[in-house]
Amino acid sequence: MNRLTALAVAIAAMLALPATGNASQTFGSLLKNNPANGSDQCVEDVPGPCTLVAYINPNDAGDPVASPAPADGVIVKFRMKTRAAESVTFRLANIDKQGDVALAQAAGAVGPTVTTQDTEDIQEFAARLRVKAGQHIALDASSTQMVYNNSGNEFTYLYAPPLVAGQGPRGSSGEPQGELLVQAVMEPDADRDGYGDETQDGCPTQASTHGACDTSAPAVKKLRLAAGALKIRLSEAAKLGIKIEKKQNGRFRNVRTLTRAGRAGQNVLSLGRKLGPGQYRVSVVATDAAGNRARYRFQRSR
């Protein structure tokens, strides 16, 4: 194999690799342990539910490591192990660790509320929740039956009553718990529309489209120029750039440039002050929400 052939093979191999920026990622618990020594009550002195926030989890080697979201994206599902059949709500939280004090604050929207089964098997639930790098997995629950406690490791912090969006950060309410057995699966969100690019968004390049990509430009029909208005029929809603030129001394010169929002169907768009008699040329650029653009030009006398 000569050098050029070897180089071509190497380049082809690199191109065949998946783009690391477009792959789903998991964070939180590795779910290798089973629930153990969990309490039927979140915080001994505070009745009712609480928010459990996972701060660190053991890695493959068993070493405790911080386990927040590694990047911005969308959580498309979460998995957990628990010994209780109860209603829990998945959410996210920010933690500011100041010495032994863990100040937590609810982050973003609340995720799905699901009912768990009283089994120690891995349970999986669908979700669609924006996440930012550095945010931690949290769970609103009435018990700590989804926690693995061993040798007093302080991996999970409890907040009772539960954290609420819009409230400031506050310190933990009860004794720290062990590993919160919850894992999140996140996907990138290139167009920032709140849908995971791999399994939820059929067109990751268009924020307005979640199914197949929209590649059709708006169709413009039945253009009519009146004294003070432009009548136009559109196949879909579009932003319109309108340029009006008037023929003067054998040449068309620009007399008006406008931007208007058009809806699907018939539109009557004001041109501002009325146009005087003469021969006009009107150019229209119609751009839909997906960025598809079409240009139209016609001439009218009035």
Integer angstrom CA distances of residue 49 from 41, 43, 45 = 8, 8, 12
Q: What is the pLDDT of residues 207-265, one digit of tens each?
A: 888 889 999 999 988 888 888 899 999 999 999 999 999 999 999 999 999 999 999 99
Rounded to whole angstroms, how far apart are CA atoms 150 and 100? Answer: 19
| Ranges for all domains in the chain classified under CATH 2.60.40.10 | 220-301
CB 196 within 8 A of CB 272: no
- pLDDT-derived band at 25 (thresholds 50, 70, 90) equals very high
CATH architecture of the region 220-301: Sandwich (2.60)
Q: What is the pLDDT of residues 31-64, one digit of tens each?
A: 999 998 667 778 777 777 999 999 988 888 888 8
Classify residue 178 as exposed, middle or buried by CB count within 10 Å of its CB (0-12, 13-18, 19+).
Answer: buried
pLDDT at 6 over 60: no
CATH architecture of the region 22-187: Sandwich (2.60)
CB 187 within 8 A of CB 196: yes
| Ranges for all domains in the chain classified under CATH 2.60.120 | 22-187
pLDDT at 5 over 60: no
